[in-house]
Structure 1
Amino acid sequence: MKNALAVLVALVLVAAGTGWVLSAPTRMSAVDSALLSEGSPDRGEFVFWAGGCASCHAAKGAEGDDLLKLGGGLRLETPFGVFVAPNISSSASDGIGAWTLTDFADAMTHGTSPDGRNYYPAFPYTSYARMSAEDLGDLFAFMKSLPAVAGKAAAHELGFPFNIRRALGLWKRLFLKPAAVIAAPSGDGEVDPELWQRGRYLVEGPGHCGECHTARNLAGGLILTDWLGGAPAPTGEGRIPNITPGASEFGSWSASDIAYYLESGFTPDYDSVGGEMVHVQENMARLPAQDRDAIAAYLKAIQPVVPAAD
């Protein structure tokens, strides 16, 4: 009996130790870190709008220059609890002003804070992990040029077990996958490969479109086989639409329809953008026209998803 108890205790200790090791926050490798260099704020501004940073980190209802004041505070209500967007302004005490470029890149691509904590994936690092070293350097340069905003945002409101940050390390091992989601088209000549690749990068990376438009499993990980096929709204009210060629309405849009929608906010039927998509469309309108064309080319060439609810 004593021997069996000793074996059980040993197994528990081994399992606990293994879980502790596997849940540890990760950082960029020395090889990846060596690719980083502080870049151009001018180029970084385009990355900023593509990434939708102001949509979560500026004050609710902010317009004009106030969109560049990233004091956080937005409350994101989800089935897991309430996440509060942090201050990511250039404030050294309350924002990210004291961060290094490597700190920034670790947060963006590994979901790891400078002090070694796992970030919650309400911060869409699972998509930002696909960003290039050049874009990370450019974005950081732009972020440093923005106003410092005083004051820390409120803490997240999470119950057990979601308030255990360490456990997110195990979640990241399952769902943080920086590889491209969709394979490139076969090259039949119908799609410009370079334009499509740019669209894939923008949609799957900084644009993080899949974070809202793709359904999640019970653990909160994206179901990649239903990529961009629509999903319940995180707030529990309504549904975020299917934006693949298999969608009943969106699937009939041409590439030029999609590009025009991203620029103007008007659908082919002259309806206007609404809901949370308003912020996304306004951000996309700030990008070069070729980037909107690239997004449209990508969306028209991906695998159709026809969920039962569509």
Structure 2
Amino acid sequence: MLTAPRPVAQERLEAITALEGDPAAGEALFWAGGCASCHAAPGAEGDAKLVLSGGVRLKSDFGTFIGPNISPDPDAGIGSWSVTDFANAMLAGVSPGGGHYYPAFPYGSYSRMSDGDIADLFAFMQTLPASDVASLPHEIGFPFNIRRSLGGWKLLFFTDAPHVAVSDDPQIARGQYLVEGPGHCGECHTPRNPVGGFVGQSWLAGAQNPEGEGVIPNLTPGGKSISGWSASDIAYYLESGFTPDFDSVGGSMVAVQKNMAKLTSGDRDAIAAYLKALPERANGWE
């Protein structure tokens, strides 16, 4: 059936399985991907952010999604998963049991990740502390609790194609990979249509805050949020949390900035270069 889950192609899964993941490289991806922001316990700081027991509540128009336990615990977490299971989840939004994951888990962005990065991230996550805290069920009502319908959503909106054509410059290309892939910046900074798909022509142009207060800023040169910032201003903000006007990061961006501060300076520079290369877009929430 058209709406049935479609795992990653067997040939690609075999290629990923054959790789020897590097936990050190995987740690950088862990922070770039913001894994702790959704899967550590609410309010966790320091080393506690590496205990991925879940519990963060993500409000949306479709209900409240609750981050599950993805620690290496074999029963409560993903300790019994193979790298094949992990690849199917990250790249195709398919569970080990063969079901669809809700796109609140941003596999729509992670699907752009390379085979090597998937293997490295899996290797790192296996080194983290196990937690036996049980995952809580999502609070989703009818008809959105019918997971088979997600197959139709994937047919309409799930793609690993680039969101914009910018440049072949290696630095910009690296920034595009980080922003559109593991960084999944568009998940918050791009408006969505009534069924939760990205409004493609407004990529990174900002959106209504799903929490109901204010808006998520427009990151393109067409918005006022950072259009006057230089690439070095953007990179410094990601590193320090301070704007060119000496204001400090706030709201949900606090956790994102803390994650970005753990990247290399080269990767932060690449993200900034990509954002400066984006086409101008009008504010996505207007």
TM-score interval for Structure 1 and Structure 2 normalised by the shorter chain: over 0.9
Query: 1: distance between equivalents of 2:15 and 2:216?
Result: 36
Which residue pairs with 1:29 in the alignment?
A: 9
Query: 2: distance between equivalents of 1:40 and 1:108?
Result: 17
Which residue pairs with 1:207 in the alignment?
A: 183
In structure 2, do the counterparts of structure 1 residues 97 and 304 end up closer, same or farther at CA, with 3 Å as the change threshold?
same
Query: 1: distance between equivalents of 2:27 and 2:283?
Result: 36
TM-score (norm 1): 0.90
Query: 2: distance between equivalents of 1:65 and 1:134?
Result: 26
Alignment check: 8 A CA contact 1:77 1:234 kept: yes
Query: 2: distance between equivalents of 1:149 and 1:309?
Result: 39
Match of 2:238 among 259, 262, 284: 262
Q: Report the Cα offset of residue 35 of structure 1.
A: 2.3
Q: Report the Cα offset of residue 307 of structure 1.
A: 2.6
Alignment check: 8 A CA contact 2:202 2:284 kept: no
In structure 2, do the counterparts of structure 1 residues 309 and 117 end up closer, same or farther at CA, with 3 Å as the change threshold?
closer
Alignment check: 8 A CA contact 2:62 2:144 kept: yes
Q: Identify the structure with the greater helix proportion.
A: 1
Query: 2: distance between equivalents of 1:38 and 1:28?
Result: 19
Which residue pairs with 2:105 in the alignment?
A: 123
The answer to whether residue 84 in structure 2 is matched with residue 108 in structure 1 is no
**Structure label with greater radius of gyration:** 1
The answer to whether residue 56 in structure 2 is matched with residue 93 in structure 1 is no
Q: Give CA deviations for 1:91-134 in whole Å, capped at 9, x if unaligned.
A: 00010100000100000011000001100000000000000000
Alignment check: 8 A CA contact 1:71 1:87 kept: yes
Specify every segment of 5 or more residues in structure 2 that has no aligned partner in the other structure, as ranges: none
Alignment check: 8 A CA contact 1:38 1:140 kept: no
Q: 42-51 or 170-179, which moves further after superposition?
A: 170-179
Question: Could you say what secondary structure the match of 2:26 adopts?
Answer: helix
What are the equivalent positions in structure 2 for 1:29-108 lying under 5 Å apart?
A: 29-36=9-16, 37-108=19-90
Q: Report the Cα offset of residue 34 of structure 1.
A: 2.6
Query: 2: distance between equivalents of 1:194 and 1:54?
Result: 29
Aligned residues: 284
Query: 2: distance between equivalents of 1:31 and 1:196?
Result: 30
What are the equivalent positions in structure 2 for 1:126-145 lying under 5 Å apart?
A: 126-145=108-127
Query: 2: distance between equivalents of 1:289 and 1:109?
Result: 27
The answer to whether residue 269 in structure 2 is matched with residue 289 in structure 1 is no
Q: Report the Cα offset of residue 256 of structure 1.
A: 0.2
Specify every segment of 5 or more residues in structure 1 that has no aligned partner in the other structure, as ranges: 1-20, 188-192
Query: 1: distance between equivalents of 2:177 and 2:14?
Result: 22
Dislocated runs of 4+, deviation >3 Å: none
Percent of aligned pairs with the same amino acid:
59
Q: Give CA deviations for 1:157-193 in whole Å, capped at 9, x if unaligned.
A: 11110000111011011111001111132x6xxxxx1
Counterpart residue type for residue 128 of structure 1: Y
Counterpart residue type for residue 153 of structure 1: S
TM-score (norm 2): 0.97
Alignment check: 8 A CA contact 2:51 2:130 kept: yes
Which residue pairs with 1:162 in the alignment?
A: 144
Counterpart residue type for residue 33 of structure 1: L
Q: Report the Cα offset of residue 309 of structure 1.
A: 5.4
Question: Could you say what secondary structure the match of 1:151 adopts?
Answer: coil
Counterpart residue type for residue 272 of structure 2: A
The answer to whether residue 201 in structure 2 is matched with residue 225 in structure 1 is yes
Alignment check: 8 A CA contact 1:259 1:296 kept: yes
Alignment check: 8 A CA contact 1:79 1:235 kept: no
Query: 1: distance between equivalents of 2:282 and 2:166?
Result: 21
Question: Could you say what secondary structure the match of 1:250 adopts?
Answer: coil
Counterpart residue type for residue 302 of structure 1: L
Q: Report the Cα offset of residue 77 of structure 1.
A: 1.3
Query: 2: distance between equivalents of 1:32 and 1:130?
Result: 13
In structure 2, do the counterparts of structure 1 residues 23 and 268 end up closer, same or farther at CA, with 3 Å as the change threshold?
same
